[in-house]
Structure 1
Amino acid sequence: MISYKNTSKIIIFCPPKKVTGGPEALHQLSNKLYELNYDNIFMYYVPQRQNAKAKNYDIYKTQEIHTFEDSPENILIIPESMTFLIKKYPKSQKVIWWLSVDFYKILMDYRIRKQSFFTKLFYKQTDKEYHFENLPNVFQWAQSHRSSVYLKDHNIPENKIDYVCDYINPIFLNKDQVINKDLSNKTILYNPKKGKKEISELIKNSPELTWIPIQNMNAHQIKDLMAKSLLYVDFGENPGRDKMLRESVSQDCCIISGRNGSSAYYEDLMIPDEYKFDFSLEKIPAILEKIKDVLDNYSSHIPYFKTYKDMVLSEETVFEEKLKEIFK
């Protein structure tokens, strides 16, 4: 178990200036620990940059640090994209937060290829990577059920895995909000950065439908758009529990998704199987038929998304309780 003392520094490693789900989760962690009255919480950006904190995260309280001592009292929160730092700080307690299993695989393959190239070219390098060794002061946080499965498949003992999931931007969590849908609004929302091939095929085969990409918008604009819309479609890889899926259900959008990554697991995407599809060209007619049925009969479909919405709306509270349990 993590050993937290009042003199401990909690240092959260994060890439600079990135505006994606992972960095937002890391900034949320800092903010939430401050709200829970923990002291000595710091962001450490790798690589270090001027104005490293993205403007989108000004709503989260953070304090930046540029140097620190490798000490057994310190607790380093390291995203899975930076596991090369594990062995750099042998004395500190370290937590790997698995926010994106797929991103880890991509970066690890790249670093291993790069190391092999320089080893062959110049000299034998010491392997600085972490390879799931059972080190006494390394702990694991799984952001999704999918990442917990991945860790167990790599022989991480269950007692070294904590389930720690972030939550969606507080802008989406107004419990007094009343959502009134315009049932004549037959537009379909999607994230153009995800599942590009699949979405382009669906758009190509449905000229009669109107597809709206969610892009170049701030959180308030995304929320307003989702609150007016009936359906969000996602065929992305979903390496962790996807933010936009959770945001859409918070605004009472129905969802049609693929079965990639975490979407395959009910624990991560709590919607009935009839709304999830293994994408193929042959399945396009069935997917479009389901899309049209949801748009035409929204009121009969939306009750099936209540379980998922309730879970999403409780995530901030669950996150708080888990942090209090870990850092007691």
Structure 2
Amino acid sequence: MPSNSTKILLLTTLVSGVLVAVSSNSWFGAWMGLEVNLMSFIPLMSNTKNMYNTEASLKYFIVQVLASATLLFMVVMKTLAEDLFSLAFMETSYTPMIICTPLMLKSGAAPFHWWFPGVMEGLSWENCGLLMTVQKAAPLMLMSYLIEINVFTSSIILTSTVMGAIGGLNQTSMRKIMTYSSINHTGWMLAALITGDNLWLTYFMIYSTLVLTVLSAIKLSSVSFINQTLLTNKEAMLTKFMMFTSLLSLGGLPPFLGFLPKWIVIQEMIVNKMTPMATIMVITSLITLYYYLKISYSSFMILSEEPKWNLQSHKNKTSKKISAMIMSSISLTGMLMCSIMVGMI
């Protein structure tokens, strides 16, 4: 694992790569930003204590390089016919589709999600958070320049939401459940991309906050599988409650903060006469709520068993617990605060 100074340097270049990609006025500059971002994330993934880490790093590297090479190849080939080195409007109807395909592979949208669960299984919770939030920012921003309402985009959105919902049903690993949850939310973000200019950014910021809240609660209780939540120390009831409420918010259940962006997306889709797609997306969100409730089942049980050897202490995690409580309170009261602010305006 890199030292703290190395981590700071790599995180700085990681964010710099995202900023270069999203602020570039040419596809070549955007490709360079994506490569800087990739080269910064690979060393952050390294961990000698985890036997699955090498496999995950290699798989992630190969997939991302394949997507970057495909993106560069397609851009160069299309430049022969169009001025694609600028981010101008494309003339042909299929150009946005072929450019968005490698970007969807980078962001893990279905059916290009096959690498996502395997990579997530071998990462630490901090790197899982980066992969589900920061690493999606640049591809989604680049897709926002091109994406249109057509059959291809609609099929990707529906496939992502359905696969994200169904794929998590039979999982016992918390990392894989969060992976399929991320795939489902990627479908919602793609729907936000085609309905509004800045709507996806609002969704992405709230989604990132909720993911980091859930991961902080999971890491605090040292849980990796669903059955371990039943054996969590009874003294950590606050941690259980934070995990429970954060997961419900991530699932989009009112009156939590996670319902707000989904509400806006549904409203915009109805305005754009996309009601059948919105209906399917809402149904898949209910399915994701089912496997969130499987995780949270022990949080609201009155009677629960605890083994005698469960002596794990949470007293030395005060600072982490405070940060998790602050983020959980944002998840709980965020929608209420937004409603009050809108009412005052």
- Measured against the shorter chain, the TM-score band is under 0.3
TM-score (norm 2): 0.23
Indicate the structure with greater helix content. 2
TM-score (norm 1): 0.23
Indicate the structure with greater strand content. 1
